[in-house]
């Protein structure tokens, strides 16, 4: 059966920064019978749950991968290394499980696709991708924002 990498918080895993999950009622329809491979890049990168909220600063996930932007939490702690490590582990999991597509949590600094927070912690969104979404896309895995969240 074909597999799709899915943000773990969409599948009932309480791995968000606030210690909660965020189920998507529309996820099953988007999976269209394919198997979900739940994965949380931030946890896999070594960050605890709960944790301070983080945003990319100076650019989106692509800029982080290029070394021209960073990821910081709302207390100013640099968590770039953890975000990049988690993205690499997500890519490894996707490859190991044969995923060619990912359905990820919208707006997240890791999982966001197309729009992410602007680094000011004010709720403003800008065009861009999260760090994991950017790395997956760069390696040929199609990333779509999950519906219904």
Exposure string for 107-129, b = 16+ CB within 10 A, e = fewer = bbbbbbbbbbbbbeeeeeeeebb
The secondary structure element, H or E, covering residue 145 is strand 142-145
3-state SS assignment for residue 144: strand
Q: Which of 5, 36, 37, 40 binds ligand SF4 (CB under 6 A)?
A: 40
CB of 119 closer than 8 Å to CB of 57 = yes
Backbone angles phi, psi at 26, to 5 degrees: -95, 5
* Nearer to ligand SF4 (CB atom), residue 80 or residue 110: 110
User: For ligand SF4, what does the binding mask look like between residues 10 and 29, x meaning CB under 6 A?
Assistant: -----xx-------------
Instruction: Find the part of the chain contacting ligand SF4 (CB under 6 A) among 39-47, 52-60, 63-71, 115-123.
Output: 39-47
* DSSP of 90-116: HHHHHHHTT-SEEEE-TB-TTT--SEE
Q: Which of 24, 56, 80, 108 binds ligand SF4 (CB under 6 A)?
A: 108
Placement of tokens 């359905």 in the chain: 103
Q: Which of 110, 133, 136, 141 binds ligand SF4 (CB under 6 A)?
A: 110
* Nearer to ligand SF4 (CB atom), residue 23 or residue 59: 23
* Nearer to ligand SF4 (CB atom), residue 15 or residue 57: 15
* Nearer to ligand SF4 (CB atom), residue 69 or residue 130: 130
Catalog residues that contact ligand SF4 under the rule CB under 6 A: 7-9, 15-16, 40-42, 105, 108, 110-111
């Amino acid at each position: 059966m074909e597999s799709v990498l899915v943000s773990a918080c969409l599948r009932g895993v309480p791995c968000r920064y606030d210690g909660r999950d965020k189920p998507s009622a529309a996820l099953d329809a988007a999976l269209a019978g394919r198997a979900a491979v739940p994965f949380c890049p931030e946890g896999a990168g070594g960050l605890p749950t709960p944790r301070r909220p983080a945003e990319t600063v100076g650019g989106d996930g692509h800029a982080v991968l290029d070394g021209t932007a960073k990821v910081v939490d709302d207390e100013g702690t640099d968590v770039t290394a953890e975000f990049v490590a988690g993205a690499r582990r997500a890519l490894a999991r996707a490859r190991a499980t044969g995923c060619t597509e990912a359905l990820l949590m919208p707006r997240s600094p890791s999982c966001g696709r197309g729009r992410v927070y602007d680094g000011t912690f004010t709720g403003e969104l800008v065009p861009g991708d999260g760090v994991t979404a950017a790395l997956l896309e760069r390696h040929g895995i199609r990333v779509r924002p999950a519906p219904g969240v």
